[in-house]
Amino acid sequence: MPLLIGHTAMVLHYLFFAYVVLGGFLAWRWPRLFWPHLLVAVYALGIVIVGWSCFLTEVENWSRERTGRAVMENGFIDFHITGVLYPAQYLVASRFVIAGVIGCAYAGVAWNRYRRRSGVSPVPVSG
């Protein structure tokens, strides 16, 4: 059972990471999702910058201890993502790219909000 709990926590971690990076784009379609995403993004920023603990990391490490596997000393991103999705030497650059992706999503949310409030219609695309 601890192994199943650990694997579930790992899958939820990947989903959480994907939501942090790309979830802002969901607010383009469903504007009410902006605030929940902002809270999640701030929490993720706190984990990375301030060193807040992550519940999913705690659960996954608990599972790893119970099943005799190595614990994630520096957290989920360092253990599962750095060196896999991007080389370790590009950690800082990857953080800037992620921040840029989130910033683009939020810029789109702001633009859509502006268009709705001002009555600006979308620019037609000629084909």
Express each pLDDT in 14-49 by its tens digit: 999 999 999 999 999 999 999 999 999 999 999 989
In whole angstroms, give the CA distance from residue 91 to residue 83. Answer: 9
- The pTM of the full predicted model, rounded to 2 decimals, is 0.84
- pLDDT above 90 for 51: no
Q: Which of 71, 20, 27, 22 is nearest to 47 (CA)?
A: 20
CA angle at residue 57 from 55 to 61, to 5 degrees?
Answer: 120
